[in-house]
Structure 1
Amino acid sequence: MRTEFPPGSAERSDMAVSEAEVRKCVHCGFCLSTCPTYVLLGDERDSPRGRIYLIKSMLEEEAAPTPEVVRHIDRCLSCLSCETTCPSGVDYRRLIDHARIYTEEHYKRPLHERIVRRLVAALLPHPRRFRFALQLGRLARPLAGLFGRGSTIGAMLGLVPARMPARAGLQVPSGGSRGRVALVQGCAEPVLRPEIRAATARLLARSGYEVVFVRGEGCCGALVHHIGRERDSLAAARRNVDVWTAEQERFGLDAIVTTAAGCGTMIKDYGALLRNDPDYAEKAERISAMARDVTELLSEGDVAAAPTGLAVTYHAACSLQHGQGVVEQPIQLLASAGFAVSEPAEAHLCCGSAGLYNILQPDLAARLKERKLGHIACANPDIVVTGNIGCAMQLASGAAVPVLHTAEMLDWATGGPLPAALAEAGIDRVLGISPRSKTPPQGEDHDPR
């Protein structure tokens, strides 16, 4: 694609990167069929190719973006399905990130949008604040339906869990021989589903790893990054780079393990995000190279268990399959653990969670969720499994069967406790699992359906 960026823009790293990526686009249109918003809306401006044109024009003119341009940029999920599809190798994430930062700096949003964005940025990355906000939200949760499907307030209340999960005590498992790993603690996940982190710690220890939680670690920065708050996101990245580097230099670390796919994608991108910071570029690159999704790490060993007869439909989080390129490992691990694994139709399309998307774009998020759940229902699973807390919460709000994290299923299959969601669904009774052991049955003659 031909560009006419302003003279001198090549001296600015962000403009130079964006111009280089725009030039790679050859207008082929392969991205159209894999873009969730284009599939829903059929509007060229809501496709990657259309957004590239809008971003190109906005940056070339160096003008304040119009409300129309902002609307189409905001509708992008950052699912990165287009990157997987693009034959020209356009690094679309650099373009949409730059567009969001530019918009944040040059566009004054309506007051209600500014309030919502500041509120989520102040609450979600901080577990204590987030937990307190959810406790308040439970009081107003019955009113969610009054605000309508397209309401941000209604969407926020609709995501508040019916009951707050207990803060289960978490014991760090004893060390193993395969390496020492830092398990990322996260911000939303330990508040909404603390059992995921507990299951992952047990699973990693059982697989031979020494698991540690690094003091001083905070939010990875992904949530604020996706709404263009560059200063906040880079501050989060620098803080984590510092604490993980110090831990690695003092005690040694073989990997930084993530259970939230969105966090993993962000941490693996630290090197690129801090490439122009002379104090952090090298350190950030090393940290990014150490980041591993839990299924990436486990796929290097063996995870085996007896068949259970349970039908599992695996929902691939966009940030995992497109952002990190982790596609086959979760499926292979689940199959090795004894589950009958399937994928829904349109497995490459987003469920509508996408970080803060289901709050900021509730109508489109709801339509994508319904589309995804329809495909999942056709697979007729006993359980839906995913590798990202946002996807788990999004799908669980409408799924007819339990929605669990991959690590929870693997932990149970290899000797861990039965996940509470499965007990609540009565799967333990159907499978004939002992109330004491709560471990999967040893045999092939158990079919829950």
Structure 2
Amino acid sequence: RADQILRSCVHCGFCNATCPTYLLSGDELEGPRGRIYLIKEMLDQQAVSRTTQHHLDSCLSCLSCETTCPSGVKYSELFEIGQAHSDQITQRGLVERCKRWLIRKVFPQPKLFKPLYRIATWLKLYPQPHADPCVQATTVSDRVIILPGCVQSVTAPNINISLRNILAALNVDALSHQQVQCCGAIDQHNGDPDKAREIIRHNIDSWWPDIETGVNKILMTASGCGLTVKDYARIMADDAVYANKAKFISAITQDVSEYFADQRLVKHSAYQNVAFHAPCTLQHGQKINGIVETVLARSGYNVVDFADAHLCCGSAGSYSLLQADKAEYFRAKKIANIELQNVDVIATANIGCLMHMQKGTEIPVKHWLELVTVEKP
């Protein structure tokens, strides 16, 4: 598979024009084309230099390069292969190994993550989580599955509550399985694809009884999770037992914006001017563009444009923890462009972006679902 992807690259370099790390450094090896060269060299020679590892680690995996690429190079797949191979044939330093181990072990498990987040809020590093009252549908005309989430369920429970309340007003029952926490993205993107596949099998087993009773939609409030679940079909393609089920799961998974694209929603806040930051996993990964902005504008908000909206905010999953300096630089650029406009609130569609950006601005950062509701009859 790596060979197929490598052969599809014509080395035109268009990708570098939209790569944040290349634009920051001007270093060819800090762009997608350079990283493709490094991955090819690594796979050919079965050896990883510290230089190669450094440049792979500094990649945001924002997928802006895939949006730009005229040849359709699946850089994200190649990067996953290269990253996993790198971790297999070389050992990182002790500090780096501990960081990645903690991220993989703690973040996907709310029981472990919640005490740490409480400490962080006590130290005023992050805001206290907020939760509105949750209502239930009085009558049920449809049922959907929603993901409780790992980090999001602890840091921003109001996002899923907002979704539940909107669905309840539409007579839709939201099914949520507490044994399903992480979608598998944290392990998949941090060098442990085997653990990711283990999580995916567990999730499929948990959802399948509902699917067998007729549930045909899985809604994702976090675009990063949505991209991963939509990718279950590819990730599990070689699994004889789960391949077909994974393909079906991917096919019925939607970002919430897709589900509400044609729904008439109304304002649910006093804010007026909204800047929507489209997460990379939404605009580049899932190729969903313009839907949230349309829903917000239709509901009564003034959606404000800002420069370089296609570039990453620096969150990029665990990147903001592992590459903090670069992450803060990209956030500062994003926030500076937004603050040039008359903005009351920043809306986004992924918990990582929300938390990362809120640390860099006094402007409130909300999930867009928290800004809308269903019009009362």
Q: Please indicate the TM-score interval, normalised by the length of the shorter structure.
A: over 0.9
Q: Which amino acid aligns with 1:234?
A: R
* Contact preservation (8 Å) 1:315, 1:343: no
TM-score (norm: length of structure 1): 0.80
Aligned to 2:77: 94
**Percent same amino acid at aligned positions?**
38
Q: Distance in 1 between matches of 2:34 and 2:290?
A: 31
Over 3 Å counting, the alpha-carbon distance change for 1:166 and 1:129 in structure 2 is farther
Aligned to 1:161: 126
Over 3 Å counting, the alpha-carbon distance change for 1:103 and 1:168 in structure 2 is farther
* Alignment partner of 1:236 is 2:196: no
Residue of structure 1 aligned with 2:38, choices 54, 59, 65: 54
Over 3 Å counting, the alpha-carbon distance change for 1:161 and 1:295 in structure 2 is same
1:209 Cα deviation from its structure 2 partner: 2.2
Aligned to 1:7: none
Q: Distance in 1 between matches of 2:207 and 2:139?
A: 18
Equivalent residue runs for 1:2-401 within 5 Å = 17-63=1-47, 65-138=48-121, 141=123, 160-162=125-127, 164-165=128-129, 170-177=134-141, 179-249=142-212, 251-304=213-266, 310-401=272-363
Over 3 Å counting, the alpha-carbon distance change for 1:171 and 1:217 in structure 2 is farther
Q: Distance in 1 between matches of 2:42 and 2:102?
A: 28
Q: Distance in 1 between matches of 2:20 and 2:175?
A: 38
* Contact preservation (8 Å) 1:46, 1:72: yes
* Contact preservation (8 Å) 1:337, 1:414: no
Over 3 Å counting, the alpha-carbon distance change for 1:174 and 1:212 in structure 2 is farther
Secondary structure (helix, strand or coil) at the match of 2:372 reads helix
Q: Distance in 1 between matches of 2:362 and 2:116?
A: 27
TM-score (norm: length of structure 2): 0.95
Q: Distance in 1 between matches of 2:184 and 2:61?
A: 15
Which residues of structure 2 form unaligned runs of 5+? none
Q: Distance in 1 between matches of 2:180 and 2:144?
A: 14
Q: Distance in 2 between matches of 1:316 and 1:309?
A: 19
How many corresponding residue pairs? 376
Q: Which amino acid aligns with 1:52?
A: I
Q: Which amino acid aligns with 2:46?
A: E
Q: Distance in 1 between matches of 2:209 and 2:271?
A: 46
Q: Deviations over 1:274-299 (max 9, x none)?
A: 00000011000000011111111001
Equivalent residue runs for 1:431-442 within 5 Å = none
1:172 Cα deviation from its structure 2 partner: 4.3
**Cα RMSD (Å):** 1.9
1:207 Cα deviation from its structure 2 partner: 3.3
1:398 Cα deviation from its structure 2 partner: 1.4
Q: Distance in 1 between matches of 2:305 and 2:140?
A: 34
Q: Which amino acid aligns with 2:277?
A: H
Q: Distance in 2 between matches of 1:379 and 1:208?
A: 38
Q: Distance in 1 between matches of 2:228 and 2:22?
A: 25
Over 3 Å counting, the alpha-carbon distance change for 1:367 and 1:305 in structure 2 is closer
* Contact preservation (8 Å) 1:307, 1:337: no
Between Structure 1 and Structure 2, whose CA radius of gyration is higher?
1
* Contact preservation (8 Å) 1:307, 1:338: no
1:120 Cα deviation from its structure 2 partner: 1.3
